[in-house]
Amino acid sequence: SFKDRQKYVAGEWRFRGGFARASNPRRMVKTWAEKEGRNLLRLAHGGVPAPRLRGLVAHVLLMDFLGDGDVPLPRLKDAVLKSSQWRASYYQLILAIRTMFQECRLVHADLSEYNVLARGSDIYIIDVGQAVEHDHPNALHFLRADCTNITAFYSAPSRVPNAMSARRLFDFVTDTSIRNVDDWLEDEMSRERDPAEGEDGSWLNAYIPRTLSDVVDPERDIFEVEEGDERVDAYKAIAGLPREAQNAL
């Protein structure tokens, strides 16, 4: 419902007015359509595979049809791929998530196998109406959920059994210090996995600060880090934090 979608609009400077009240549902639909249209343009500028926006009239979006003839492309969850195609589509998708975050400045915020289309190993991201700015108050929490969903889907033995853990994928998406992404991925995907690596534990529920101003009690956090609290990794995603500062955490 549009009431539930308020959380994706609140906190974004692009939609400072939020949704109109329920007494004006047309205004709500129009705002959501505008949001999806602008997000699609962001993806196009960043080179992220997605439907191409052709027009926006009132609350109606016109975009390219993704399919073969008059048959729409299957969702990723329904795709039947070879082992090599699963691996290739995984690479494409995690690169797209990283590009969305670092270049398009967006987090999908509802990414799963249900809103990704597949044509062989090629993927297309759809349903970006709820995508939020990378500095949205809940952006990193949404990103963590996206990474968790994608990892859960791809890590099945029949797809990409050595897929990164959700935590590792989150780090890949947010790490601005990676200079050669291809080399990084080759090293990452070829190394032997630690059985405990996928046990993200407290990280899945940990509070993730978006900016330094979100750190309420740094002295307490420093103490807990020294005591072995794994939440320290969450701080590495703080926007603008230099690599030297990350390594010091």
Measure the CA–CA gap between 154 and 31, rounded to whole angstroms: 34
pLDDT band at 191, cuts 50/70/90? confident
Higher pLDDT, 88 or 7: 88
The pTM of the whole model exceeds 0.95: no
Phi and psi at residue 187, in whole multiples of 5°?
Answer: -65, -45
pLDDT at 157 over 50: yes
Tokens at residue 213, please? 């101003």
Catalytic residue among 127, 135, 171, 175: 127
Question: What's the confidence (pLDDT) of residue 242?
Answer: 44
For the chain, the 3-state helix, strand and coil shares in percent, each to the nearest 5, are 45, 10, 40
**Which H or E element spans position 111?**
none
Q: What is the mean pLDDT of residues 147-157?
A: 96
For 94-124, the pLDDT digits (tens) are 999 999 999 999 999 999 999 999 999 999 9
Question: What's the confidence (pLDDT) of residue 214?
Answer: 58
Percent of the chain with pLDDT over 70: 69
Question: What's the confidence (pLDDT) of residue 125?
Answer: 99
pLDDT at 5 over 90: no
For 41-92, the pLDDT digits (tens) are 999 999 999 999 999 998 899 999 999 999 999 999 999 999 999 999 999 9
Helices (H), 10-56: 25-46
Catalytic residue among 68, 110, 229, 233: 110
Question: What's the confidence (pLDDT) of residue 240?
Answer: 45
- Please state the domain extents for the chain: 6-205, 207-249
Told to judge if 214 belongs to the known catalytic residues of this protein, a careful annotator would answer no
pLDDT at 194 over 90: no
Which distant-in-sequence residues (6+ apart) come within 8 Å of 193 by Cβ? 162
Q: Residue 134 burial by CB count (10 A; 0-12/13-18/19+): exposed, middle or buried?
A: buried
Told to judge if 217 belongs to the known catalytic residues of this protein, a careful annotator would answer no
Which residue type is seen at 218?
Answer: P
Alpha-carbon distances of 77 from 122, 149, 153, rounded to whole Å: 14, 12, 8
Question: What's the confidence (pLDDT) of residue 213?
Answer: 58
Closest to 5 in 3D by CA, of 204, 184, 160, 142 = 142
Q: Residue 200 burial by CB count (10 A; 0-12/13-18/19+): exposed, middle or buried?
A: buried
pLDDT at 219 over 90: no
Higher pLDDT, 216 or 101: 101
> 159: helix, coil or strand?
coil
Question: What's the confidence (pLDDT) of residue 137?
Answer: 84
pLDDT band at 135, cuts 50/70/90? confident
Question: What's the confidence (pLDDT) of residue 127?
Answer: 95
Query: What is the 3-state secondary structure of 116-131?
Result: EEEECCEEEECCCCCC
Alpha-carbon distances of 230 from 28, 34, 93, 102, rounded to whole Å: 41, 39, 27, 24
Question: Looking at the domain that runs over 6-205, which CATH code has it been given?
Answer: 1.10.510.10
